Amino acid sequence: MTELFENILAQGTEHLNLILLMGLAIFFGTAGAGILQKFRIPKVVAYVVIGLIIGESGLNLIGRDTVETLSSFNMFALGIIGFMIGGELTRDVFKKYGRQFLIILCSEGIAAFVIVAFLSGFTCWFFTKDVQTSVAMALVLGAISSATAPAATATVLWEYKTRGPLTTTVLAIVALDDALSLLLYGFASSIAAAIIGETHGSMWMAILTAMFEIVGAVVLGVLAGFLLSFILKLIKDPDKALAFTVSSVLLVIGLSIALNVGSILAAMALGVTMTNLGTRRRQNSFELIEKFAPPIYVLFFVLAGAHLVLSEITGWMAVMVVVYLFGRTSGKILGSWFGARLSQASDVVRRYLGICLLSQAGVAIGLAIISGQLFTGQLAHTIIVIVMTTTFIVEVIGPMFVKLGVKKAGEIGLNITEEDLIETYKVGDVMDTKVAVISSGTALSEVLKVVSNTDSFYYPVVDKDNQLLGAITLDDIRNTFATQELNDWLVALDVMEPIIAKVIPDIALSEAFEKTRDLDIEHLPVVVSDEDNKFAGVLNCRGVRRSLSAEVLSRQQKADNIPRVPVS
């Protein structure tokens, strides 16, 4: 294995096929995430860092050409993420918080634009003494800074199963931020191009183009959503539902590129339409995508990390990076606070929304590349390097601040499902240790007294040393009544059933449930260990499921009861 990697590093990436590179990216990204998760660091951070390590700035396993070759995959990944975010934005959410979202969106986006434009323009002038270039760069960087990356932000929220007013607001803002960023960029780029004499059309034409991108994306996504909903209503096979859903996302992304409209926004509109049409079968499409998507997320964020080439950063660019980061962070935090206060959002939204909006990625990079095509020379190169570098930095620190925000808001773990809870338990955590136990020599008449005085359906039978011998169920007792003449001399040993399966306390609850499903039984006796057959308890699957459902409901109610109005 060592010789293999030495050969790879010696030969460079030109001899590696694309499938191998993708496999390396997913493998090392997943492995790195597993290591960093032990330190309670979000998985997204690990993916991005691994991308830097195996990218051109590190081991050069994934070069710039490979990243560019996989740009179509990145669009697909963003489409999947956009679709999933759209699935969170239900009709009720917009009905309750639509005005609030709009105020906060404008406040945080415009605040970031203004602060970044002022600071970056002044810094650029300090180094270049060129007023026109400084103003143009200020306008473009300010517009780009307003964008927020939905991918990294939403992935953290899904990883930590968050629910509550902060989570709802974050998802809505990152879903709508791209539209605002496109509008701001339409204004800013036109004015900047006019200032430096590189106009490619009027300002109004640029604004109309931005509006077309937004409206066209929404229309495309909504139409695709209705079509997919109709198709899913006709089919029942989950495999076919997954295929149609993935193909719909691909078609929406492909058509949006062909029509020059917003790809991510179109995918979000598809998700919003699907989730608001409301049937259970349509909702299942999101669950199918959620299980299908993890490798896509890994590869997307690894490639995002591989984008950065540290050698291209000069001294004054490094200063511009720091200024951009400071201005954008200040704008997002102050703008979010002001917008939340103005719209009378809840206390947790006012306090923590800003630090949840630091990530930037796809749209910011896309606008930077467009700027590189719109402008020429040093200005174009500087904008691209600044945005690429800051994107990498905020993709690393942004997810950690998202986690901090939702943790401070008390929303982590409030959107958990029964299956999530099952994965966290062992049999010993939920088994019933107070179940009535019957000795093997107990007369049937005494057994009936025990049954009549308890609510159980399952009674373990043990010997004098508490060794598990079998079990009696209510069905066994009913069958015994069919032989009335034998009742006087029957004992528990005569009517019990043999044990067909048993578990130990340390076994995972998910494994025990799988065993009960395979055997079609509701109860599993628990013994001390594989070597010791001494009775320890009973796993009552139906009872455990009821308890888990109650726990899920309790957490959801806790999330819904988080104050949604300012605390006076």
Question: Which one has a higher pLDDT value, 495 or 332?
Answer: 332
Give the containing element (helix H, strand E) for 461.
Answer: strand 458-462
Residue 387 burial (10 A CB sphere; 0-12, 13-18, 19+): buried
Q: How confident is the model at residue 491, as a pLDDT? A: 73
Query: Which residues make Cβ contacts (< 8 Å) with residue 545, sequence separation at least 6?
Result: 418
Per-residue confidence (pLDDT) for residue 16, from 0 to 100:
60
The tens digit of pLDDT for each residue in 291-301 reads 777 788 788 77
* Between 396 and 97, the higher pLDDT residue: 396
Is-above-0.95 flag for pTM? no
CA–CA separation, 107 and 40 (whole Å): 32
Q: With contact defined as beta carbons under 8 Å apart, do 305 and 254 qualify? A: no
Q: Which amino acid, one-letter code, is at 242? A: L
Q: Are 151 and 81 in contact (CB under 8 A)?
A: yes
Q: How many CB atoms lie within 10 A of CB 236?
A: 9
Q: What percent of the chain has pLDDT over 70?
A: 81
Q: What is the DSSP string of 275-286?
A: HHH--HHHHHHH
Distance (Å, whole) CA 341 – CA 346: 8
* CATH number assigned to the domain covering 75-304+316-415: 1.20.1530.20
Please, which residues have CB within 8 angstroms of residue 188's CB and are 6 or more apart in sequence?
A: 113, 139, 140, 142, 143
The confidence score (pLDDT) of residue 178 equals 72
Look at residue 196 in the predicted model and tell me its pLDDT.
Answer: 67
Would you state the structure tokens that stand for residue 452, as one six-digit string?
């009549």
Reported as a pLDDT band with limits 50, 70 and 90, residue 115 is: very high
Q: Which residue in this structure is represented by tokens 């993935």?
A: 246
On the question of pLDDT at 69 being above 60, the answer is: yes
Highest mean pLDDT among 190-199, 293-302, 554-563: 293-302
CA 186 to chain centre: 30
Distance between CA atoms of 189 and 372, rounded to whole angstroms?
A: 11
Higher pLDDT, residue 161 or 307: 161
Window from 343-347, 378-382, 498-502 with minimum mean pLDDT:
378-382
Q: Residue 15 to residues 20, 169, 182, 526: CA-CA distances in angstroms?
A: 10, 47, 39, 56
Q: Is the pLDDT of residue 7 over 60?
A: no
Is residue 61 within 8 A of residue 18, CB to CB? The reply is no
Q: Report which of residues 205 and 422 the model is more confident about.
A: 422
Question: Hey, what amino acid is at 207?
Answer: I
Q: Where in the chain is the domain with CATH 3.10.580.10?
A: 423-553
| Among 60-64, 254-258, 324-328, 330-334, the least confident range | 60-64
Strands (E), 160-316: none
Does residue 389 have a pLDDT over 50? yes
pLDDT at 164: 83
> How many other CB atoms are there within 10 angstroms of residue 508's CB atom?
15
pLDDT computed for residue 205 by the predictor: 66
pLDDT recorded at residue 171: 84
Least confidently predicted of 192-201, 287-296, 373-382: 192-201
What pLDDT does 560 receive?
65
Q: For the chain, give the mean pLDDT.
A: 78
471: helix, coil or strand? strand
Q: Which residues contact 107 (CB under 8 A, 6 or more apart)?
A: 335, 336, 338, 339, 342
Q: Is 90 exceeded by the pLDDT of residue 281? A: no
Instruction: List where CATH 1.20.1530.20 sits in the chain.
Output: 75-304+316-415
* Model pLDDT, residue 119: 93
User: Hey, which residues does 472 pair with through a beta bridge?
Assistant: 459
Among 60, 84, 41, residue whose Cα is nearest residue 296: 84
SS3 508: strand
Quick: pLDDT tens for 196-231: 665 555 556 666 766 777 788 889 989 988 888 888
Separation between Cα atoms, residue 68 and residue 307, nearest integer Å: 9
Residue 402 near residue 354 (C-beta atoms within 8 A) = no
User: Which one has a higher pLDDT value, 280 or 230?
Assistant: 230
Q: Point out which residues pair with 517 in neighbouring strands.
A: none
Q: Spelled out in words, what is the top-level CATH class assigned to the domain 423-553?
A: alpha beta
Going by pLDDT thresholds of 50, 70 and 90, the confidence category of residue 6 is low
Confidence of residue 3 (pLDDT cuts 50, 70, 90): low
Question: Comparing 464 with 195, which gets the higher pLDDT?
Answer: 464
User: Which residue(s) pair with 415 in the sheet?
Assistant: none
The pLDDT value given to residue 308 = 67
pLDDT beyond 50 at 568: no
| Residue 8 clears pLDDT 70, i.e. is over it | no
**What tokens were used for 544?**
């455990």
The pair of structure tokens assigned to 184 is 């701001």
pLDDT tens, residue by residue, 27-54: 888 887 777 767 766 677 777 778 878 7
What is residue 567's predicted lDDT score, i.e. its pLDDT?
A: 44
Q: Residue 567: exposed, middle, or buried by beta-carbon count in 10 A (0-12, 13-18, 19+)?
A: exposed
Model pLDDT for residues 134-178, shown as the tens digit of each residue: 888 888 888 888 888 777 788 888 888 888 888 888 888 887 777
* Confidence category of residue 1, pLDDT binned at 50, 70, 90: very low
pLDDT at 475: 67
What is the pLDDT, as a whole number, of residue 377?
66
Task: Find the angle CA(19)-CA(32)-CA(311) to the nearest 5 degrees.
Answer: 75
